[in-house]
Amino acid sequence: MKKILAIIALVFSGSFLFAQQPCTFKYGATEEDSIACRQQIFYFTEFFKNKSYKDAYDNWQYLIQKAPCAYEGIYSNAQTLFQNLIKDEQDSARREMLLDSLLYAYDVRSTYFPDKFTPGSGLGYKAYNLMRYRKNLYEQAFDWFVQSVEMEKENTQAAIWDAYFQLAKNKTDASKDTSFVIDAYERASDYLDLSVLNATKAYETSADALAELQAKFDSAIIDRIEFDKKAKKLIADTTRQSKLIVNFIKVKAKFEKAVAPYASCDVMEQLYAKKFDEIKDNVPAVSKMVNTMFKAGCTSSPVFQEGLAILHKASPSRNTAYMMGNFTFQNYGKSQSVEDLNTAIEYFKDAANLSETHDQKADAYYMMALAYRLKNAFSESRSAAYEALKAKPNMGKAYILIGDLYANSGGRCGDEQVPGAYAWAAADKYAKAVAVDPSCESEASKQRAKLRFPSKDELFKRGISAGSSYHVGCWIQENTTVR
């Protein structure tokens, strides 16, 4: 019991290893100190690079005691260093001491390198390691995870989200209280959307700048040296942001799959109905509830509908406009009212205008195109689909939609010189869909198989041969190839 209390005391002390003091000198007060410090940094980096973790630990101790501001690598590499030391250590008391050192590193890194690390991130990794190595302190780890996420918000790293959600699931399984999982999912739904949004905006900014740079080089406005210098950084930026986007989307998908058994729409309805009166005047809380229920597909819930209306009125945004559009669009399936389609189109227009990324704009225009199609407004539907493609040129499903519009133009193109010529134009769009997005091949092939091209007799009567060019008239007005 005394040993457990001693460990807990160490964990919460925050300064149990070394005295935290401001760095008066980065490398040391004297020239001799500076030389010794730089040598320790060199040895640490070499030992760490060669995975000689026990040797690197001696240099780590020297640096964190004597020169904690000298080298940020003693903090950024601490997780790898100590998890390997702990794994190989046989003595339980020494393992605890090594863990204390790791927790201390996360305590102080934002103090010594505030431009590199944040207190919230350090707290998250403390929780992560407490969860791994001191399972009896899982309640403290859980509290730290919650604090960390609320401090870091959309800047929370994917690994922290993963560990936090796993612990929330464990608490729910142990207590049979689904609120732990739903609260975690609610936070994740809200903040991970922002994480993906911010990373996507950064990616698109760098990608657009890279395209502009390429155009300048192609036009001989800049030379190869300037191009290579600037392109290197932009390529690195787009690669980094692309990896972040992938990691955040993977975590989101994992959460959504894992939460399903715990958070059915009935459960969410009951949970949020109980606390709706408490949160309905709290816009951030309503936002989290609405986003969580929307992603779970619980849009028929009265609580969701009331919450969305409150949120859109209080804080209209791209997301609220898009959700209102989706909700109204889905309601058309029940009402069959053209008014619902008109209302949905207006919401999708608002969503497109408020969009912050190419993907957001493309999605809003695509939904608008679907709504116009249901109205049999083929020309408007095509225009919206092309707006989606302008924002996202590789949106294959937008080309499929245009192909479908052409394929269903029999009643509009009856006076065409070659009856059924619209099928050739439709086939072009299905082919284009696959060209820009190979994942569309199955759907495009299925739709193309339904086409009925003009017969050979029809072509012969008109003196038209396969492979020749043909202008499709009526509302389509496109050049195509005779099949």
Map tokens 């040797």 to a residue: 55
Task: Give the tens place of pLDDT for each residue, 248-290.
Answer: 888 888 888 888 788 788 888 888 888 899 899 999 889 888 9
Measured in whole angstroms, how far is the alpha carbon of residue 7 from the centre of its chain? 38
Check residue 2 and give its pLDDT: 41
Task: Give the per-residue pLDDT at 20.
Answer: 54
The DSSP annotation for 408-431 comes to T-TTT-TT-SSTTTHHHHHHHHHH
Q: What pLDDT, in 10s, does the model give residues 446-456? A: 999 999 998 88
Place of tokens 């730089």: 38
- 62 vs 37: CA distance, rounded Å: 8
- CA dihedral (232, 236, 239, 241) positive or negative: negative
Type of residue found at 56: A
Tell me, what's the pLDDT at 21? Answer: 56
393, 387 Cβ separation under 8 angstroms: no
Tell me which H or E stretch contains 102: helix 92-112
- Long-range CB pairs of 211-215 (<8 Å, 24+ gap) are none
Per-residue pLDDT at 333: 83
Question: What is the C-alpha to C-alpha distance for residues 422 and 401, in angstroms, rounded to an integer?
Answer: 14
Residue numbers in the chain where pLDDT is lower than 50:
1-16, 19
Residue 283 to residue 289: CA distance in whole angstroms: 10
Distance CA 72, CA 56 (A): 15
* Maximum separation of any 2 CA atoms in the chain, in Å: 100
pTM for this structure?
0.64
Positive or negative torsion for Cα 168, 170, 175, 176: positive
- Give, in degrees to the nearest 5, the angle at Cα 195 between 192 and 197: 110
